[in-house]
Amino acid sequence: MPHEKFYNLSQVASRLGGHEILVIGDLMLDEYVWGQVNRISPESPVPVVEVQNQTAKLGGAANVALNLRALGDRPVLIGVTGKDFASTTLKRLLKKHGIATGSLVADSGRPTTVKTRIVAHGQQLVRADRESCEEVSEGITRKLLSRIKAGLNSARAVIISDYGKGVITTRLLKEVIAMARRKGVFVAVDPKEAHFMNYREVSVITPNHHEAGFVSGKRITTEQSLQDVGWNLLDLLQVESLLITRGEKGMALFERNRDFTLIPTVAKNVFDVTGAGDTVISSFVSAVCAGANLKEAAWISNHAAGRVIAELGTAQVSKKELQREIKNYSANG
């Protein structure tokens, strides 16, 4: 089984960036309410948070686009927002980071997805979600497909970021995958269990070990069960490759040519895995667009994920940070 030392990952990382990549999926706004707790409420046995600050970050497919932007690529973000204050905040953040908003579709019949996390003393106390998980209407789907068709004329790859919030429908998946395959465009999917059987014949799918095990009806507890689940999904979906993320245990890459690669984590500390899947798929696809083979792309994404899970909330790794991480790891490995 090839070890990382067999690849020149620094050379691969140096080529990252400069590619146009479509990102299609569920947009989110991640809100953080920061404070401290000094007492328990007299009304109910719950902590009283004295709010000191409030911040907002891009989440979901928007965070995938932000990850690509940090690596120097040109993401074209396609998704749905409501017509509300949260959509204004979301667009402002996108523009701040140099991500165009012209391909977004506004739907007055649904809210912009917002996840509000209340954090005190470095610990998340509670999360409140404002969202609709209903599938978008046929009219909204048509608008999305029109933007996707136009974007595919110049895109090097497509990332489908499915959080199960209604944007990624069976019809949209079928048409997007067919259009991309006709043009020979690389298609990567960050999946949701409900749509698993609709991700057929894509280039790569990146479930975590819980999702992969659930769909296969078998818990991943050993390397043998990992291989059983991985090969089963790869053959069932007829995908070119499958990358199962395993948290602190790293990753496992399955390829159609029957190559199997175990990739141990490089993370020194696992603080918060929020958004780690976004980082994995964005860095994997960025590497492929830069000429990496699938194994090299997986090793690159492993390094990128190792950086972001050491921070609280959604985070991104820049091209320079990733190059430095790989260089340091190679020198000390």
List, by residue number, the catalytic residues.
Answer: 278
CB-CB neighbours of 63 under 10 Å? 26
Distance (Å, whole) CA 67 – CA 253: 21
Is 51 in contact with 34 (CB distance < 8 Å)?
yes
Determine if residue 129 is left, alpha or beta; phi over 0 gives left, psi from -120 to 50 gives alpha, anything else beta: beta
Sign of the C-alpha dihedral computed for residues 30, 303, 194 and 170 taken in this order: positive
251 strand-pairing partners:
245, 263
What is the DSSP-derived secondary structure letter of residue 103? Answer: T
How far is CA 129 from each of CA 24, 179, 275, rounded to the nearest angstrom? 21, 34, 16
∠ Cα 167 173 178 (to 5°): 145
What is the DSSP-derived secondary structure letter of residue 137? Answer: P
In the block, residue with structure tokens 């991309």: 180
Residue 324, classified by CB atoms within 10 Å of its CB into exposed (0-12), middle (13-18) or buried (19+), is: middle
